[in-house]
Chain A
Amino acid sequence: MQEFDLVVIGGGPAGIAAATAASNHNLNVLLIDERSTLGGQIYKRVGPGFEVKDSIKLGADYLRGEILIKSLSKSNAEIMLETTVLSVEDSQVIVVTADNKYDSIKYKKLLITPGAYDRPVVFPGWTLPGVITAGAAQSLVKTQRVLPGSRIFFAGSGPLALAFPAQLSKMGANIVGIIEAAPRPGFVKIFRIARSLRGNLDLIRDAFFYQFHLVKSRIRIQYGRIIVSANGTDRLESITYARVDKNWRPISGTEKTVPADTLCIGYGFFPSVELFKILNCEMSYDESRGGTVVQLDEWGSTSLPNVFGAGDGTGVSGSYVAILNGQIAALRIAYELDKISEKTLFNLSKSIRKEVNLRKKFQKAINHAYAVKSGIYQLASSETIICRCESIPLKDLLPIIESTSDFSVVKAYSRCGMGLCQGRNCQRQVSALIAAKHGLDLGKIPGTTPRFPAKPVLLGQIADSSIRDEKYFIDEQ
């Protein structure tokens, strides 16, 4: 069995930065990613069969990603692509590799940088073909240069609500409307964001360019509005939105319907916490960073020895913070494995930490301005499907929620969360219903027991006939 000083799970900004830094400090590093190229979601590369002649034309993010990936390929870190992590147990990462074999890889230190996925938002019609997440639309554009539709409506909140439609529009997309749930930023908000600007000018520059592009293309953002329903029989034909109150609840009578063939949903992200949970790391809840997050110390260390985390998978803070935190974790790991002295650790981490704090200030101001409000959990009607894997409508869940505040009980009685996505789409929504019904704090509703595999895997890929079942006669036990 192979053994590494450091195994990094996830080849996005945090993972790449950490693997590069650790390798440059003479650690024996392996980086694993399930996709065929590095970069994660933000720095996603074009798909196979495409050739990039001028990276600059693909935008600032593409270029940043290219620089990051280049520095990794110059290091001695080993890279395993198309490799899915199924579980972590006894200082071993259990994977299925590109050639369909399952394997375990031993580590001294583990860094998990799993990234985040789009926040699922449940409203009437959210499962109609034509309704997609911003991330899915982004992937289509980034890897295949394909636009998701010809009349695209964008509903979301946060900085992405600005950036993403601008990116799409640059590609020639026909954006028929953008709604942002938060109110138009007022003086106080702008002041707060401006105050946090020091050291974040590049971010504002990005935002400015996005805004500029939208204005140039005559695309108007409507603030204080939320998606109410996606309409159509077999696929999306139109969307309805409405003004919201301060808790993001639609104000009745203000609904407007617009024809559209594509609805992109971008209300922020949920960290992919599955591996942290399987390992039984201490978790906490922070809605502004995406909900359930792993608890980390200032070095990115989890509650378990030798297990670290960084990036949006540990709480959404954006790619800049992800890179820096990945580097800090790498330094700490190098120090714990006696590759650098305590003095070097502090000297090198000091300047990085300074930058993290500036970035975080900005992120906090943004999070404050665009914080998700409870109304986002109250958009479903009684017929709306909540669990899309098992097709369970809200009306089937309500009577169960009356008598229990335990999600696992709701799951056992309804099959909600038992499908392919294992609750990634429905669990928060159901927990919010439970919280509202029983007057509890959403963050205090326990989820289901964490179990492997982190991703579904073919039985043929993991079957291991070398493992025998000994001692099965009762007189041998």
Chain B
Amino acid sequence: MTSSFLPGYLDRKENLADLPKVTDVAIIGGGLLGTALAYYLSKFGIEVTLLERSDLNREASGTNAGSFHFQIALHQLTKNLTESEEKRLSDEVKLQLDAAILWDTLEKELDADLGVHFTGGFMVAETEEELKVLRDKQSIENKAGLETHVLTGDEMRSFAPYLAPDLSGIAYCPREGHANPLLVGPTYAFRAMELGAKIRTNCEVLKIEPLDNASPYRFKLKTSRGDISCNRLVNAGGAWTAELSAQLGIKHPMGLSGLHVNVTEPHEFFLKSMVQHIGRRLTLKQTPNNTFIIGGGWPSRTENYPRRYSNYWASAAGNVAVAVRVLPILKDVRLLRVWSGVWAYTKDFKPILGESEKVPGYHVAMVPTGFTLGPMVARTLAEYMHSPANKNIIPKEFSVDR
């Protein structure tokens, strides 16, 4: 492991300490968004208690591959590129760019090694049609301010000699990179605790009760470890965001999808940059532990919590075939294990962020491609909660009540 936890982090007996009776802000969910929000709110001097039903960083925040996705990817595309689609994609690129700026300085901000590296990212094309998509997306990205290059032929082969020589072309984005997903959330939590935030694990919120005006608090949470009342509540429940909001009669335009991931044995390190495919489901990277992580959106089987989503053999065989096609050396590397994470997405691909107008005091923080955007989105929400008068910080289309 090239990065490790901060000294003292793993000694977390405090997480099992008693629950406070009251708090200004209660955050439900100890994933990346919840922990980052706890940090940024604590920095503003706001009293925070974070409640996590199992342990920190155990779901999507800790089971994703830790990649920064700044290029426009396959899952964002529609079949035909209309003008309004171009506008949407351009907005999304700008959002990703803001996130890139945050990641640039996050290790300094948290004074910790988070395994952040900007090692570039490839987007490969197999057919001439796919190559055209690479060029179209490049023009949107460059206009929005994101540097990407399209390479073909010998130029491509000498730049990335390990990729299959017969690819029709590749896009390269130098800003892309990765962090260690096992470290980011826990480090935010650790720094938040230093600033006074209370983090409680093994604490499941069973019921959200809105309180009437006579009470000095707005919500009472019944948890597996007792009751806690709060002024403001943040739902950072990741895949379970909609389930929690339903208790207050709020619906979200979101869906869940199980994503299949493969991990291989270690292999001598050579693949610095992440590899994606513009026409097929593939993300591929070599980790600092020298293993390869191969994913890209192949499905897995839905199961009820706390059982984890289970895997389809076809997803492994299909996903691996795309990976071997693009990076032929992989055929001699062994598959060790597969796993599956739950990906929460919104139907319009925009974050759900901010305070509800229907239920004042109730906030939601949920974002697809949560690892890349999570820290930035959390910081934005913290800024809003610090000065709620400043409503414009959060774009209207992210509305919680939409």
Contact = CB atoms under 8 A, between A and B. Distances in A.
Interface of A: 86-87, 89, 94, 102, 104, 280, 399-400, 402-404, 406, 408-409, 412-413, 415, 418-420, 422, 449, 451-453, 456-460, 462-465, 467-469, 472-476
A84 to B, nearest CB: 12
B74 A460 contact: no
Interface in B13-44: 13, 15-16
Given A413-B5, A459-B323, A463-B324, 5 more contacts: A409-B55, A413-B10, A465-B325, A474-B77, A474-B349
Contacts of A413: 5, 10, 182
Contacts of B16: 403
Interface in B306-325: 308, 310-314, 316-318, 320-325
Given A451-B339, A459-B330, A469-B298, A475 B320 contact: no
Contacts of B13: 402-403
A458 B182 contact: no
B154 interface: no
A416 B5 CA distance: 15
Given A403-B12, A463-B324, A457 B76 contact: no
A404 B13 CA distance: 9
A457 B335 CA distance: 5
B402 interface: no
16 contacts: A402-B10, A402-B11, A403-B11, A409-B55, A412-B182, A413-B182, A415-B289, A420-B336, A449-B308, A451-B339, A452-B316, A453-B336, A456-B335, A464-B321, A472-B297, A474-B77
A216 to B, nearest CB: 47
Contacts, number: 129
A472 B313 contact: no
**B55, B57, B297: residue with the most chain A Cβ atoms closer than 10 Å:** B55
> Interface residues of B: mostly helix, strand, loop or mixed?
mixed
B317 A460 contact: no
Contacts of A462: 316-317, 320, 335
3 closest A-B pairs (Cβ-Cβ)?
A460-B331, A467-B318, A464-B317
A399 B7 CA distance: 11
B245 interface: no
Given A474-B76, A474-B349, A452 B336 contact: no
B322 A452 contact: no
Nearest to B79: A473
B71 to A, nearest CB: 16
Nearest to B186: A413
Interface of B: 1, 5, 10-13, 15-16, 54-55, 57-58, 62, 74-79, 182, 264-265, 280-281, 289, 297-298, 308, 310-314, 316-318, 320-325, 330-339, 349
Contact of A460 (B79, B312, B332, B338): B332
Contact of A475 (B15, B79, B280): B79
A475 to B, nearest CB: 5
A465 B280 CA distance: 12
A458 B76 contact: no
Nearest to A465: B321
Nearest to A413: B10
Contacts of B330: 459-460
A452 B336 CA distance: 8
B266 to A, nearest CB: 9
Contacts of A102: 317
Contacts of B333: 458-459
A404 B55 contact: yes
Contacts of A408: 58
A456 B264 CA distance: 9
A463 B333 CA distance: 12
A451 B321 CA distance: 19
Given A399-B10, A472-B297, A456 B334 contact: yes
